[in-house]
Structure 1
């Protein structure tokens, strides 16, 4: 085992495989990649003395408050501590001291909650103070007065001291946003001692608990008819420096709620040594702790993974010749002259599935499909994409076969999907997922229904299987999108972009990714704990298009275009508060804030407004990570920092058991965000819009979002006349925003197609009927919720989408020429 601060060979190997650059040793002794560091970092001793409170308002009708303070510092301990309760006193004095071992590189935010103790009902939560430990200076003692209510002159007085602590520094791995800390594996073994006489022995049950560990609680049962028996060890993985304890309940004692002695503080166990925890005439209890290797099974970093970088090099061999041919260039394009072109789609149910086939067929006929490096989708377009990428060479062929196959399923009778035979199949598949350790929901059932609607029988295709379709760079790289949400928050208040490629799944905001085949498995502190079989892609399709995840606020937003009216009911009441003394300002510290709980009526209304009918939940691969002390200064995090909880690190995604994933359309109906990642260097975006209703709304929302986030995006300047009657294509070259991609916007409209069956070919009188495609009328067959088309309706939509691409060849070529010229100019 390596000592703290030393780089293990396994970590070098693992990181090079995952693609974050070459490991090197910094002058200050830190080992790092381009963005991920392995470093030795000191721990400090934090002393907190809860002194007193003043002028606490009366929470009960008939008596003064019975105050106590709860202390919660999840980065240092898994246990919530609390003072004693002082009865019937508005000016309680506690003078109780608590100690925490904190990691200096972690954002440690202490939550001091004041409660009124009640015997009959649940304790009343009066308020919580959030205090950033980064405000404290090493070696100094301060006494803070938190002004909780200026009118009532309520305040809480607490003393703090921060000191060095004995012992070696801790080895951490960090990308500047997340921190993975040192973890240990504890083995607990029970050995039953040999008896003098053989006799039937009753079963003995031992219960063990390490709060905050990956395993939580485990049982060991010794057999009934053995003279001597030794159990298999119970294992616990835990953060070494988070003050963990092993709690044990011996045979004959009652089962938890609270486990019984003996117990042991685990940081006191020497690494690698077997120790006796308890022993009597009948059994011996032994423990052994080992440090886990310093490598991760997730990729921490903001760059592209090695596989995607390799794909880009190979895709260049297709893109450069295709651009030369399309633009009729005399000379081959050099690497630095070749723009990155992306095809971006929006959702829209079966309408978007069908129209995307037509758009791609049009791009292929123009030879532009070979010019594209990326293809992104959400909702219905992910169904088309996952169908296409079953064929390893789909973009190199005519798409007639795929279009014909899709027509067969789009026009077939769907009632069979609800037959008894299929219902039995659905139940069997859901039970299997549950046995694998997944949390199933109606979204999984929806995925199975989609499978029956779009395929013949069971489809064993998986996301990682699509690597075959990109391993030589022969097709654009597919990127599927979703958003991670939180219970009790609207999508406008909390959402985090999640991207899926055949190589990996990740959240760019945190710079954390897992292999596609490991998505859904259980992780702890970046280590793979339990491998779960990779989901079949139908379950991902159900999640990417989870139209059942709507809530009341989303419906309100659709009709009123704003949730502002409801924010007073659905947002936490958080206020910045004064404190004395004023501590020296530090760059990365958080403001001290006060949380006041909502009343019963507000809480009930918030629940009604924000609860979602159903949601897809997958094991959270960020579980156990902690937030870096300087995370708000990280440029990558700041780019995607857009939620109300971003300055509340204890409540961010790393603290959740599951990711809660929904259709991206519940925020903005766009899959563009992965393309705006600077590391992908996208130069041209073909925005294929298949939204219902307003064709410009999603683009306007994207522009607004990018402006607020400081993300480079071209200005969309449409006249009122254009907004009332859209054209088939618009070019926004981004000239006024240096560094922004060129944007080609294709709304799904029926304009010149009504009179032309192909560019330049007018329809005859007998063919005019074929040009009548009612896309959005009240009698339109293309409703987002329609799951069956007639053959005529299907064919007309495919033809319309193809025509709109072919009829705007000149604008597409203009966009590509602009991008090539800019690449050449940039090099000069």
Structure 2
């Protein structure tokens, strides 16, 4: 991942006129306007005024965009016929690659089609900005732009409309610094009275006080503060294992190399590029899958092959076995007869205790607490609690994040817990692991999975989570 400060340009688009536009109305000529959309420079769609009853409308309106030549800037221009009673009719739509422009002024003429004579005239002016630099972060495939923040004490629309009584706290909004964003403030009972503040005009890290002149007393006062966002991304961009997983694999390779040398009775140590990465994949199936995985791992241990494994993954009942084993940071270095005997005791005990009145009351309290925290509840959550009672004598507080100690020295394979989604036509999975996946992914600590992200950065953490999501991840969906 590299950071670079690209050359910034000011693109001025002047929508001049159109000629020979076909009429979409039955009696009169069209009432046309033009929309401009450049996603790499603006979050919204810009629009000209509407010219009434004309096949040859003239607009002569300018629109400004800050662009970077390193990005693929494609502008979409559309001409619509405005209708008051029905949906506006499209007249023309064209995509224009801004990257073909050179510094200076260039005029473009876009035609409706090869069969029609209608044309749209647009003038593009490209200027180099020497006093405006913005940092872009890229891994060669994806690009993340810099971010700034604005604080305000009234409702506004940046991450979505926020409404609150005037003077009750502050709100934070995140936006790309290069976009010509505008903060709009209006009174809920009188939307016609608006205050608009161009955010680019605000000085960084300085408190600005404004007075909103309304027709009501007392006058509303605003305090605005713009700050640079955090430099570190909360979203990972990468095409390979993350540094933390690579560090684990480096430690695990030493264990794997020693185990393979012993199992294969080799005379020499394996070289770095000769050490394979071996994974064990276990299926689901409740208690059957759980007991089966215990037996398979015990067999690998007896053959001296358990230390040859770098990854181990499972779903449903297999994850129950993994969750139990990884409570012991040294489980793969010990005899599995003890854990197997404990499992036998739990599996063969009477199941009636899980449905005792006291247990049912506890289930109800757990589900009510989950609902109070704002999380949805369903039968899956109840089923997870019942399975917890079947496999443990008391509520089990162990979390997946507690298993990091079992990976600290590469002494055990890396576990990956899979949850299956079989409700949709195409079967999909969600993986619970300690490291982010390849591509664009949130580095998700297993102890913190209730976050809100904006512009590739974590901006808010939700309230304390229910205990059930950890339990639920260990049981079938």
Length-normalised TM-score, structure 1: 0.48
Greater fraction of residues in strand: 2
2:436 to 482, 490, 505: 505
Hey, what does 1:427 align to over in structure 2? 367
Q: How far apart are the structure 2 equivalents of 1:441 and 1:158?
A: 55
- Does residue 342 (structure 1) correspond to residue 272 (structure 2)? The answer is no
For 1:423-502, list aligned pairs within 5 A. Answer: 424-425=364-365, 427-434=367-374, 440=376, 446-454=380-388, 455-456=391-392, 458-480=395-417, 500-502=432-434
Q: CA deviation at 1:401?
A: 5.0
CA contact (8 A) 2:41 2:65 kept: yes
2:203 counterpart SS class: coil
Given that 2:399 and 2:470 are in contact with CA atoms closer than 8 Å, whether structure 1 keeps it comes out as: no
Deviations 1:767-800 (A, max 9, x none): xxxxxxxxxxxxxxxxxxxxxxxxxxxxxxxxxx
Partners of 1:282 and 1:93 in 2: CA distance: 41
| Counterpart for residue 132 of structure 2 | 168
**Paired residue for 1:244?**
181
- Deviation per CA, 1:589-614, whole angstroms, max 9, x where unpaired? xxxxxxxxxxxxxxxxxxxxxxxxxx
Q: Unaligned regions of 5+ residues in structure 2, if any? A: none
Match of 2:148 in 1: 184
| Aligned match of 1:693 | none
Could you tell me which residue of structure 2 aligns to residue 110 of structure 1?
75
**Does the aligned pair in 2 maintain the 1:54–1:92 contact within 8 Å?**
no
Residues 356, 64 of structure 1: alpha-carbon distance in 2 compared, 3 angstrom cutoff = farther
Counterpart among 282, 291, 311 of residue 228 in structure 2: 291
Alpha-carbon offset, residue 97 of structure 1: 3.2
Give the RMSD, CA atoms, in angstroms: 4.3
Q: Mapping of 1:105-504 within 5 angstroms?
A: 105-113=70-78, 115-123=80-88, 129-145=94-110, 158-165=122-129, 167-188=131-152, 207-211=154-158, 213=159, 217=162, 219=164, 221-222=166-167, 232-249=169-186, 254=189, 260-278=193-211, 284-346=221-283, 352-378=289-315, 381-400=318-337, 402-403=339-340, 408=346, 416=355, 421=361, 424-425=364-365, 427-434=367-374, 440=376, 446-454=380-388, 455-456=391-392, 458-480=395-417, 500-502=432-434, 504=435
Paired with 1:402 and 1:474, the residues of 2 have a C-alpha distance of 18
Distance 1:354 1:235, change over 3 A: same
**Quick one: structure 1 residues 62 and 304, their matched pair in 2 at CA, closer, same or farther if it must change by over 3 Å?**
same
1 CA distance for matches of 2:62 and 2:474?
50
2:462 aligned residue (524, 532, 544): 532
Query: What residue is the counterpart of 2:18 in the other structure?
Result: 52
Pick the structure with more helix per residue: 1
CA contact (8 A) 1:108 1:133 kept: yes
User: Equivalents in 1 of 2:77, 2:476: separation in Å?
Assistant: 38
Is the Cα contact below 8 Å between 2:373 and 2:464 reproduced in 1? no
Partner of 1:523: 453
Counterpart residue number, 1:612: none
Whole-angstrom CA distance in 2 between matches of 1:145 and 1:175: 36
Contact 2:6 2:70 in 1 (8 A): yes
CA shift for structure 1 position 410 = 9.2
- When residues 279 and 113 of structure 1 are mapped into structure 2, their CA distance, relative to the original with a 3 A threshold, is closer
Structure with the bigger RCO (C-alpha within 8 Å, sep 6+) is 1
The 1:447/1:110 distance shift into structure 2, 3 A limit, reads farther
SS of alignment partner, residue 185 of structure 1: strand
Shift of 1:535: 5.7
Q: Compute the displacement of 1:529 (Å).
A: 1.6
Change (3 A) 1:39 1:277: same
Distance 1:450 1:417 in 2: 16
Counterpart CA distance in 1 for 2:373 and 2:177 is 33
Q: Distance in 2 between matches of 1:41 and 1:316?
A: 41
Partner Cα separation in structure 1 for residue 472 and residue 27 of structure 2: 54
Relative to structure 1, is the Cα distance of residues 406 and 54 closer, same or farther in structure 2, using a 3 angstrom cutoff? farther
Kindly tell me: are residues 537 and 394 of structure 1, through their superposed partners in 2, closer, same or farther at Cα, counting changes over 3 Å? farther
The residue aligned with 1:708 is none
> CA 1:275–1:365 in structure 2 vs 1: closer, same or farther (change >3 Å)?
same
CA-CA distance at 1:447 after TM superposition: 4.7
- 1-side partners of 2:90 and 2:290: how far apart? 50
Q: Distance in 2 between matches of 1:349 and 1:274?
A: 59
Which residue of structure 2 lines up, in the alignment, with residue 577 of structure 1? Answer: none
Cα offset for 1:511?
A: 6.4
Distance 1:544 1:110 in 2: 48
Residue 764 of structure 1: aligned partner: none
Alpha-carbon distance in structure 2 between the residues aligned to 1:429 and 1:342: 38
* Alpha-carbon distance change, 184 to 417 in structure 1, aligned in 2, over 3 angstroms: farther
Residues matched between the structures, number: 465
Instruction: Answer yes or no: is the 8 Å Cα contact 1:297–1:514 preserved in 2.
Output: no
Deviation at 1:326, TM superposition (A): 1.2
Change over 3 Å in CA distance of 1:473–1:121 after alignment to 2: same
3-state DSSP of counterpart to 2:164: strand
- Which residue does 2:40 correspond to in 1? 75
How far apart, in 1, do the equivalents of 2:103 and 2:147 lie?
Answer: 26
Task: Provide closer, same or farther for how the CA distance between residues 417 and 341 of structure 1 changes in structure 2, counting only shifts above 3 A.
Answer: farther
How far has the Cα of 1:359 moved from its partner? 3.0
Could you tell me how far apart the structure 1 residues matched to 2:349 and 2:170 are?
A: 58
